[in-house]
Amino acid sequence: MSFRTYFDVPGADRSALGEQVAAQRARVARRLASVARVVAIVSGKGGVGKSYVTAAVAAAAARHGTQVGVVDADLKSPTVARMLGATGPLAVTDDGVAPASGAEGVRVVSSDFLLADGRPLAWREPEDDRFVWRGALEAAALREFLGDVTWGRLDLLLVDLPPGADGVSDLTALVPQLSGALAVTLPSDESGRSVARTMHALRDAGIPLLGVVENMSGYHCDACRADRPLFAGHAGDTLADAFRVPLLARIPFDGSAQPAAPADTWRSIAAALLEGGRGKGP
């Protein structure tokens, strides 16, 4: 017995899974057509202050008239929404889900609005063997955060990716014309090595690297009235040299809730994100 091939049978495939996936991508592209630039904020490991930098840059840009949105793509550990003072619920209309409004009018969507306080990200199904398709579930959620939100016209959409390189491929699949990425590191060599892996992943994917921000780059000692290092190492400089990108800022550690750098610093980082890399294209 010989069978015809799938394509030899001319009738339509009712499921048309390939077409459904293509439609999902097209939906994201349509939604982001009104967004001038999409920039990823990345790190190598958690706890470096990536979300803090995202929030501060977004607010600084918005303060000066830039229309800014933030996607909190760190689904399991969402923090940037609260840093911006954005809260749910998310209003749903026929056209999509309206983003929450944060400091300076920054438009925000985050899993923080979805999860009960203190509860981890959990999926309804599948209950067994969910490790097999957890990545697919998270990528689908990111797709909706990008494509189902009524962003409106934006000059800049920042995507706060989870630590590491995993989120890079998900994002570049959904936004092929990503404008660029900003890497955030601690000064330590360990952080630098970890961030380097993510930066390599970005470069391999053809994503422009817009610069590095070194966070917790020392602190001011009131007793001795001098700036002191908090970590050994100079990862910011090392990464900037290795990847030939600018070190956009060193942000000192400050235990207060206030941004630990002058407003000009954040504004200059925002300017680099608005001007560097590539336009998103049609």
Partner 1 sequence: MKFLCLACDEQMQFRERQEPGDGTFAASFTCPSCGHEVAMLANPAETQLVGALGVKIGGRELDEQPMEFVRRNVVGRDDAFADAAPAAGAAGRRPAWSAAAEERLARVPAFVRGMVKKIYGEYAAERGIAEITPEVMDRARTELGLEGM
Options 51, 54, 66, 111; binder of partner 1; rule CB under 8 A:
111
* 142-161 binders of partner 1 (CB under 8 A): 143-144, 148
- DSSP label of 149: B
Cα 126 from Cα 80, distance rounded (Å): 28
Options 29, 36, 103, 115; binder of partner 1; rule CB under 8 A:
115
Cβ closest to partner 1, residue 1 vs residue 224? 1
Report the nearest approach of partner 1 to the CB of residue 170 (Å).
Answer: 13
Cα 110 from Cα 79, distance rounded (Å): 8
Collapsed DSSP state (helix, strand, coil) of residue 127: coil
- Name the amino acid, one letter, at 174: L
- Among 86-94, 100-108, 189-197, 262-270, the segment contacting partner 1 (CB under 8 A): 86-94
Q: How long is the chain?
A: 282
Report the nearest approach of partner 1 to the CB of residue 131 (Å).
Answer: 12
Cβ closest to partner 1, residue 174 vs residue 183? 174
Q: Is 231 in the site for partner 1 (CB under 8 A)?
A: no
Cβ closest to partner 1, residue 23 vs residue 263? 23
* 1-40 binders of partner 1 (CB under 8 A): 1, 3-4, 6, 9-11, 13-17, 20-21, 24, 27
Cβ closest to partner 1, residue 128 vs residue 222? 128
CB 107 within 8 A of CB 69: yes
Cβ closest to partner 1, residue 35 vs residue 181? 35
Collapsed DSSP state (helix, strand, coil) of residue 63: helix
Buried b vs exposed e over 238-267: b needs ≥16 C-beta within 10 Å? bbbeebebebbbbbbbeeeeebbbeeebbb
Cβ closest to partner 1, residue 4 vs residue 225? 4
Handedness of CA 282, 268, 110, 215 (dihedral sign): positive
Collapsed DSSP state (helix, strand, coil) of residue 116: coil
Q: Is 122 in the site for partner 1 (CB under 8 A)?
A: yes
β-strands 96-97, 100-101 pairing: unpaired
Cα 58 from Cα 43, distance rounded (Å): 17
Residues touching partner 1: how many (CB under 8 A)? 50
Q: Is 107 in the site for partner 1 (CB under 8 A)?
A: no
- DSSP label of 260: S
Which spans of this chain sit near partner 1 (rule: CB under 8 A)?
A: 1, 3-4, 6, 9-11, 13-17, 20-21, 24, 27, 88-97, 111, 113-117, 119, 121-126, 128-129, 132-133, 136-137, 140-141, 143-144, 148
